[in-house]
Amino acid sequence: MAGEKLLSETACKAAKPTNNMYYLNDGADLRLRCRPNGSRTWIYRYRFNGHEKSIGLGSYLQVSLRIARIKAAESNALVIEGKNPSLEKKLKSGLPRVY
């Protein structure tokens, strides 16, 4: 994340709803998605098997900026190991496995 402008907790709190959905980037593919209805959710974007994918890390206020960064780092470690973070999250939650 060196050289990138990182988000602050103040910037996350100040994010207001607009007519269109927008993103606040934190770097290292972590984004805060701000929707017109006022909801704010953390999204981690990654590439797996040549395809761009994303995984939700939770809603802002329930998941702080610090925790979102930790979750994004954990997801990135899974990608480096050759595992799909989205599938690992589903397996961890006990949902049925789909092939």
What CATH number should be reported for the domain holding residue 21?
3.30.160.390
| Domain contains 98 | no
| pLDDT range class, residue 83, cuts 50, 70, 90 | very high
**pLDDT over 60 (residue 28):** yes
Listing DSSP states for 65-84 in one string gives HHHHHHHHHHHHHHHHTT--
**pLDDT over 80 (residue 4):** no
| Domain contains 75 | yes
| Domain contains 1 | no
Domain count, the chain: 1
| Domain contains 53 | yes
| Domain contains 46 | yes
pLDDT at 73: 96
Average of per-residue pLDDT values in the chain: 91
Residue-wise pLDDT tens digits, 67-76 = 999 999 999 9
**How many angstroms separate the CA atoms of 15 and 38, rounded?**
9
